[in-house]
Amino acid sequence: MAKVKIVAATGCPTGIAHTFMAAEALKKAAKHMDVEIKVETHGQAGIENALTKEEIEAADGVIVAADKDVNTERFHGKRLVDVPVAKALRGAEELIQQIIDKSAPVYRAKGGVLPEEATGEDNQPTGKKNIGRSLYKSLMNGVSHMLPFVVGGGVLIAISFLFGIYSADPNHESYNAFAAFLNKVGGLSFSVMVPILAAFIAEAIGKRSGMVAGFIGGLLAVESGAGFLGGIIAGFAAGYLIVLLQYLFKKLPRSLDGLKTIFLFPVLGIFLIGAVMYPLMSPVAALNEAMMAFLASVQSSSPLLLGLIVGAMCAFDMGGPVNKAAYVTGTLLLSEGNLYFMAGVSAACIAPPLITAFAVLFFGKYFNKEERNSGMVNFILGSTHITEGAIPFAAKNPIVVLPILMIGSAIAAIMTYMFGVQVPAPHGGFLVLPVVTGAVKWVIAILTGSVIGGVLFGLYRKKIANGKPIEG
């Protein structure tokens, strides 16, 4: 009997950890189940190990474990398992089994016609998607493309401040030409964050034509002061406007497809997104300003409450939707000049892997050899803001471990807000310490939360071991 062949694609919004951990989990499960698999990864460096048309055609099924757009149109007519990236980490064998059992539905791309063998009664063709998940993937597609602009621009601006807070001002005595250059280039990167966000939200929905309309909608949001809220609205509006146009013009001859793509959709898309955004700009701008004012007041008046909420969210599912809600908010607030909120989010994301690392360091005999090795590696992962290193520890008993991680993350976030730390980049962990305002206090906050969490986790492992060392 021939081996089952599967192709897969993984991708997470940041394209750093979940993407490759999910790919590794699928490969490991496939090897254990004697299944042939090739996994395409959509990381921050782009698409790696890309699937060819021949490989897709030869596959018995496809697994897409992604929280961003990975172009599923090419999988038309194939059995498709489409899940969030975290599901591949927790249940890779279950996903593969759906292909083996032929219980996965056959995917039909928009307007596609399935081959005869794929339309049997036991195998109803499907192209339907969960609406909430589709919206989430579109938003995350925008965030993943926006991140490099945030990181690059934010760090360059922060470096310029090392020459003096007014070093980019030619009328100030501390003016420095190189600092002014850094500030200007970084500022340009920051200035396109919202348009990029809107463009790639729309691109996930309406493809290239959507990207054009989304970018213009994002520019309108920036110009009006509607900020990232306006950018998100513009992205979704532009994407679905293009989908509407595609529907309205679908009966045009195929010979006019080029005309639609290069002329009709861009012209009408830009016109329509302008017509939609103009009446919305004032109320959305007011809402955006109100939210900024509210967050500023909470940061100063209730750092305990804010830190508790942010810390709990970041550690709750470590890279999942709840974690991403806090992370995306912090990232987008950077475009509004708010560097405080991101500081707490980063601290809370760094803490979970460090908690497991300290637990292994202090209570090593209550962990097996594999856990001890993973714990030591988590010192590196945590220090570079890769939260997912804590997932294997949490997965063994999430009911107990997740609250411990949430406590440690909350302590780190609360102290960060109380210290008034500012972090200009949404990723990098301790690598961005040179440009962090209040760097020493930030490290103290993170280590305090991590050590307390580590001790709690270690005591829990000691209790379940009944005082006996874990073998191995």
Asked about 349 being catalytic, the answer comes back as no
Instruction: Label residue 398 exposed, middle or buried (CB < 10 Å: 0-12, 13-18, 19+).
Output: middle
List the Cα angle 51/53/106 in 5-degree steps.
90
DSSP readout, 372-383? HHHHHHHHHHHH
* Structural element, H or E, at residue 81: strand 80-83
Q: Are 80 and 151 in contact (CB under 8 A)?
A: no
- Rounded CA-CA distance 157/148 in Å is 14
Of 6, 9, 12, 445, the catalytic one is 12
Q: Residue 113, SS3?
A: coil
- Kindly give, in sequence order, each residue whose CB lies less than 8 Å from that of residue 70, ignoring residues fewer than 6 positions away: 9, 11, 40, 42, 64
Compute the distance between CA of residue 454 and CA of residue 404 in angstroms, rounded to an integer: 8
411 close to 448: Cβ distance less than 8 angstroms? yes
Which of 184, 182, 214 lies closest to 199 in space, CA to CA?
214
Distance of CA 298 to the CA centre of its chain: 25
Nearest 10 degrees: CA dihedral of 95, 96, 101, 103?
30
Please, how many CA atoms are within 13 Å of residue 463, restricted to the half-sphere of its CB?
A: 7
Q: Which of 193, 189, 186, 192 is nearest to 162 (CA)?
A: 186
| Length reported for the chain | 472
- Write the Ramachandran bin of 109: left for phi over 0, alpha for psi from -120 to 50, otherwise beta: beta
Whole-number Å distance between alpha carbons of 472 and 409 = 30
Catalytic residues, which ones? Answer: 12
